Amino acid sequence: MSSPGPPLKVLSVVGAGRSGTTVLASILGEVDGFASAGELRWLWERGVKAERPCGCGNIPARCPVWSPVITQAIAPFAATALPGRVESIISSQHELARRRNLIRVLQSIDHPEHEAWPALQTVRTVTGSACRALADVTAARVVVDTSKRPLDAAILAGVKGLDHYVLHIVRDPRAVVHSWRRAKSFTTEGTTRTMGTRSLPSTVRRWISNGVSAEALRRRIPASRWLHIRYEDFAAEPRAVVESILAFLGENAGIPFTDDHTVMLHPNHIVAGNPSRFTTGHVTIRADEEWRRSMTQGDQRLVGLLTMPLMLKYGYPVRHAARG
């Protein structure tokens, strides 16, 4: 169990899918004293119930890290049988995820003890317990959760006794749309895993929704606990950006880069995220700019038009993007 000492640091990574969050989780998980959970919000539905594999290849119930974490995290609900406990957590998560409920979760950050909403209490308790258990099992000072939704960061921000930070990562929406259209596959140790695809309207809607919700969350997080980065800056100078993230967290452990762009990744226990979490060995981080060549001018203009207010806010040029 946790010993008295500085409070556990938890970093919530917020951003749209295909913004580099999984590779960032893998890199941060290599830092001494850090544990990368991956997309912690999926531990119950995809991990425990659907038995999707952890980064180590085991299902979470048989993973040496997640198995004890699951036991510890659901201990507060010991009166109910295991499947019932897991179902209760998943249905509470679905209840919170209804669009109209985000504001209420955000409003609960400052005074979580005044919020008598059973679903929120359940998810907040179990998520906080899972972070503490993961830190205990891995002897970590810092837990990284790349659940990506501002909602999940708001849930963690209201957990008492954690030292909570938010890293907001944004990527050019044209690149995000292009990435979601490609059926990208990863092959590791003989197993090929393919990432899902999404249409332009679906990706744009989710990108805008994530950005608007992130701005609402930012107003409720102390400025010293909020770091905004762009995927493009991370891909251009990954080592420097990871160093800036460690400085933001008040940490100065060594980082696993072998040069400014290359990082050594070992098998991990990232519980959910895109299939790149299974990638190990020397990995070179570089910007994926294929969209500039492959995406039609018409689609680029359409995405630019639909996302213009946020693109301008984050410093992306809406015009002349296809020159690269």
| Residues at the site binding Zn ion, with contacts judged by CB under 5 A | 54, 56, 63, 269
CB of 152 to Zn ion, least distance (A): 20
CB of 26 to Zn ion, least distance (A): 13
158 vs 273 by CB, closer to Zn ion: 273
DSSP of 98-136: SGGGHHHHHHTSS-GGG---HHHHHHHHHHHHHHHHHHH
CB of 29 to Zn ion, least distance (A): 11
Strands 9-14 and 163-170, sheet pairing:
parallel
| Bridge partner residues of 167 (DSSP) | 13, 227
23 vs 56 by CB, closer to Zn ion: 56
Mention every residue, 6+ apart, whose C-beta is less than 8 A from residue 184.
194, 195
56 vs 310 by CB, closer to Zn ion: 56
Residue of 249, 241, 244, 253 lying closest to 224 (CA atoms): 249
CB of 147 to Zn ion, least distance (A): 17
CB of 65 to Zn ion, least distance (A): 5
165 vs 278 by CB, closer to Zn ion: 278
CB of 59 to Zn ion, least distance (A): 9
CB of 54 to Zn ion, least distance (A): 3
56 vs 265 by CB, closer to Zn ion: 56
Strands 226-230 and 163-170, sheet pairing:
parallel
CB of 10 to Zn ion, least distance (A): 19
Contact by Cβ (8 Å): 46, 55: no
> b/e map of 170-204 (b: 16 or more CB within 10 Å)?
bbbbbbbbbbbbeebeeebeeeeeebeebebeebb
69 vs 227 by CB, closer to Zn ion: 69
62 vs 286 by CB, closer to Zn ion: 62
Q: Rg of the chain over CA atoms, in angstroms? A: 19
Residue at token pair 């544990």: 35
AA letter at 93:
Q
63 vs 134 by CB, closer to Zn ion: 63
| Distance between CA atoms of residues 145 and 130, nearest Å | 11
Residue 185: strand, helix, or coil: strand
SS3 content of the chain, % helix, strand, coil (to 5): 50, 15, 35
| Distance between CA atoms of residues 12 and 284, nearest Å | 24
